[in-house]
Chain A
Amino acid sequence: MALIGQGALILALLLAVYAAVGGLFAGLGRDRRFLTSARNALWAIFALVVIADAIFLYAIFTHDFSFTVVADTTSRSLPVGYMFTAWWGSQAGSLLLWVTILAAFSLLALRATHRALGELQPWLIMILALIGAFFLVLLVVPASPFVTQLAPVDGVGLNPSLQNPYMAIHPPALYLGYVGLAIPFALAMAAMIAGRTDARWLIASRRWTLAAWGFLGIGMLLGSHWAYTEVGWGGFWAWDPVENAALMPWLVATAFLHSVMVQERKGMLKVWNICLISGAFALSIFGTFLTRSGILSSIHAFVSTNIGWYFVFALVAIIGGAFVLILWRLPLLKADQRIESLVSREATFLFNNLLLVGIAFAVLWGVIFPLVTEAFGSVRETVSTPFYEFFVIVFGLPLILLMGIGPLIAWRRASLKQLQRSFLYPLVAGLVAGGVMIGFGLGSSWPGVTALSVCAFVTVTILSEFVRGAAARRSIHGENWLLALSRLIGRNRRRYGGYIVHLGVILFVIGAVGSSAYETQTSGLLKPGESLKVGSNVLTFEGVERTRGPNFVARAAVLNVTSDGSNLGTLKPAKRSYLREQTTSNEVAIRTTLTGGDLFIILDGIRGDGAVQIKAFYKPVVALLWIAGFFFVGGVLLCVWPDQREARRILRRYAEEPLPGES
């Protein structure tokens, strides 16, 4: 079985090289037979990778511990539900998942673009096949999932931190995001090689970028929720290199999604857009590298083998290749127009881009800081949370402000009168919100009050857009509010989907600021019958309870919770001991209140005399972090949902627009 799997991967690698060469010949000679052959090779690669997947999963589900990877990441006592998560619990397995997603996406991308962007197909195949070949080399040489050994009776088991429902969906979501960015990158490179540097590749790649960006975003949010409920230190983001690995491409892709609108509308920022998408893809490869090479100390880098140099090669190839192509095609990438005023939509997009890239750069600098200091100094140095938080606040606050300003400013040039009309109410809302917060005693955190006032300002600008649009429909078409609103959104999905995502971001910021700036924390050693107060809640320790799960035993502290005299029930923070894996895991207890705050309890230790060490937090409005996820997903879905009207409009534009060099 292992031999067949390894053989399938080797054959897939050879076919990837063949497809790349076929794409090159088809592109140079415009011979359709090469193109057909190269496309068929991509289909064959997909089939071979699926065979490899099937063999790998069969080995996992049948406990075939002669597969080294299977023995290292699963055991007989591992619940069936988590066997799937073992697929991406290992380095080789996760790289196999990467290639599988890439093979499927490549076929979808070819299918989606073959009519409108037929001339790009050979180059698209070449770039995608090269990316595929790189990952197949990794799977064949340094990280094969099909290495065998003398089968032990049982496997080592899966890291208990990964035995959580979120781990079944968080890593695949991130991988869909990382891999998804390969498609717009490949389209950009193909467009440059073919000399088709107009906005067509951009329009064709928009949904891909949005989907990849959406997956990265939701993957990070799920990861945060996992960290919050499972890792259990009381936070949701630790600025761990592997968390940052997903954040960096997401930030750069966010910048790209905004700046493409400037290129589509005004024909500006062409070089910048290619730099952004190349940067986003390079960062997604860098992210995979950080996760999988174990180069930086991180709780997430479960495995460390020597695949680092392969990734360094890939990064140099991506950045170097994009740089050379941009230089080559520079004459075709000249802007059609220039920014005429600093008070214009395009200028706000530009500043938004600068800030987003600024944050991404700060995060990147933080991540590589230990490597840089080690390379150029005698000792390795590292930066921690305050460094990242400083830049997120200093660059992030104006960014959020721009989120409110941008949509209300006209393209080209805005008048003072228009600004007054658009911003009067939002400005008043922001100031009133700040005043109310101080009045309610929340003035203890000035960054908190500032951020939340800015959030109020932005919320009112976004909502006023919905109200204004619906009111216009009402007066023109005589529709009722509900119908006017739904038609308004339905006919401008991209715009209003974007606003819904913005609302999600605002909710996230309120959740993050509220839960950190106004958190209450306490800890104490409790004997049975003793109490601890956190916020308005009183926790009374009743005793230790022992339970047994499928592959663990647990000891829980039973805590009775009362608030203002009323009994709210019991909470049971626990420590689980995984028998086969010989490790323990903390299970935090969380109670969400009606106002969206969380009572969050960690069992830090159980003493021999039955006393327990408890750490308890009250985190206001933290539930907004997770509610924001629904807005994010809803907004992204609205933006990517197929829109026949838009497709027709684009096809008309394709037909009308001159190709570069023809104008």
Chain B
Amino acid sequence: MSDVTPATPDGPKPGIRHIRLVIALAIASLLGTFAVYTAFADSSMPVLGVAQASTGYEGQKVRLEGKVTKTTGDAADPRGMRFTLQDNVHSATIPVEYRGAVPDAYRVGRAIVIDGTYENGVFTAVPDTLVTKCPSKYQDKATPSTSSDSS
């Protein structure tokens, strides 16, 4: 406490200044942890559309968004599943290799999100990262349910 200068008649007591300093340091260390982690831990990855993935992101781990247009094989099989992903806006497509869990809502026509790396013309997905986006069947007002659709 000897390094704390005596309080002015109106200022806080030395003990209170000391406490303020520790609280300020505590806040600073929380923010510091935050800043250091976000700056150095390489904790984020780009979210790309199919059209962007092949332009400058080759070899880099990315999260890919797109719509499934063709699917063959079985993700549970050691040989894995292969499907084609189309850009949500453009006509660009990309072949994807995937192994692991397949969400219940996965099928051709569904928008999905998947992590992986694009190299030599193929997107190799990280196992178990396939996530289907909001099932269009439950939201797409452009294709309302019709009376004939009972199968």
Contacts and interface: CB of A to CB of B under 8 A. Distances in A.
Contacts of A381: 44-47
A339 B75 contact: no
A340 interface: yes
A606 B76 CA distance: 8
Contacts of A362: 34
Interface string B87-106: 00000000000001111110
Contacts of A607: 74, 76-77
B107 to A, nearest CB: 8
B44 A304 contact: no
B105 A583 contact: yes
Interface stretch (A18-26, A133-141, A148-156): A148-156
A394 interface: yes
Nearest to A612: B76
A381 B146 CA distance: 39
A297 B88 CA distance: 13
A583 B104 contact: yes
Contacts of B48: 379-380
A347 interface: yes
Contacts of B102: 604-605
A380 B47 contact: yes
Interface stretch (A96-104, A351-359, A431-439): A351-359
A516 interface: no
Given A369-B44, A605-B75, A303 B145 contact: no
A331 interface: no
B37 to A, nearest CB: 6
B37 A390 contact: yes
B34 A304 contact: no
Interface string B25-43: 0110010011001100101
B104 A585 contact: yes
A275 B1 CA distance: 33
Contact of B47 (A305, A382, A386, A586): A382
B135 A387 contact: no
A258 to B, nearest CB: 16
B27 A294 contact: no
A370 B30 CA distance: 22
Interface in A249-308: 294, 297-299, 301-305
B8 interface: no
B145 A355 contact: no
A153 B147 CA distance: 5
A84 B144 CA distance: 22
**Which residue of B22, B134, B150 has the most chain A CB atoms within 10 A of its CB atom?**
B134
Interface string B12-24: 1001101100110
B144 A233 contact: no
A604 B104 contact: no
Contact of A338 (B12, B76, B144): B12
Interface residues of A, number: 66
Nearest to A351: B26
A613 B43 contact: no
A542 B19 CA distance: 68
B145 A152 contact: yes
Contact of B138 (A303, A380, A395): A303
A403 interface: no
A497 to B, nearest CB: 28
Contacts of A156: 137-138, 145
A615 interface: yes
B76 A613 contact: yes
A18 B20 CA distance: 47
Interface in A334-373: 338-342, 347, 350-351, 354-355, 358, 361-362, 365, 369-370, 373
A615 B27 CA distance: 44
Contacts of B103: 299
B101 to A, nearest CB: 6
Contact of B139 (A304, A341, A350): A304
Contacts of B100: 604
B71 interface: no
Interface string B102-117: 1111010000010100
Contacts of A604: 75-76, 100-102
Contacts of A584: 104
B138 A73 contact: yes
B54 interface: no
B26 to A, nearest CB: 6
Interface in B43-68: 43-48, 52, 63, 65
A445 interface: no
Contact of B150 (A154, A159, A386): A154
B145 A155 contact: yes
A302 B46 contact: no
A161 interface: yes
A465 interface: no
Nearest to B44: A381
Contacts of B105: 583
B11 interface: no
Given A297-B65, A342-B19, A613-B77, A358 B30 contact: yes
B58 to A, nearest CB: 15
A387 B65 CA distance: 21
Contacts of B139: 72, 294, 302-305
A435 B18 CA distance: 37
A559 to B, nearest CB: 15
B68 to A, nearest CB: 14
Interface in A213-264: 233
Given A382-B45, A613-B76, A299 B132 contact: yes
A195 to B, nearest CB: 27
Nearest to B47: A380
Interface string A42-70: 00000000000000000000000000100
B35 to A, nearest CB: 11
A489 B78 CA distance: 58
Given A299-B132, A390-B37, A604-B75, 9 more contacts: A159-B135, A297-B133, A302-B135, A303-B139, A354-B30, A358-B34, A379-B48, A384-B43, A605-B74
28 contacts: A68-B144, A71-B145, A152-B145, A152-B149, A153-B147, A154-B147, A297-B113, A297-B131, A298-B134, A302-B138, A303-B134, A304-B134, A339-B19, A340-B16, A369-B44, A382-B45, A382-B63, A384-B45, A384-B115, A387-B41, A394-B33, A525-B78, A582-B137, A586-B104, A602-B101, A605-B77, A607-B74, A607-B76
Chain A to chain B: the 8 pairs with minimum beta-carbon distance, closest first: A605-B76, A613-B76, A153-B147, A604-B76, A380-B47, A387-B43, A381-B44, A585-B104
Interface of B: 12, 15-16, 18-19, 22-23, 26-27, 30, 33-34, 37-38, 41, 43-48, 52, 63, 65, 74-78, 100-105, 107, 113, 115, 128, 131-135, 137-139, 144-147, 149-150
Interface of A: 68, 71-73, 149, 152-156, 159-161, 233, 294, 297-299, 301-305, 338-342, 347, 350-351, 354-355, 358, 361-362, 365, 369-370, 373, 379-384, 386-387, 390-391, 394-395, 525, 580-586, 602, 604-605, 607, 613, 615
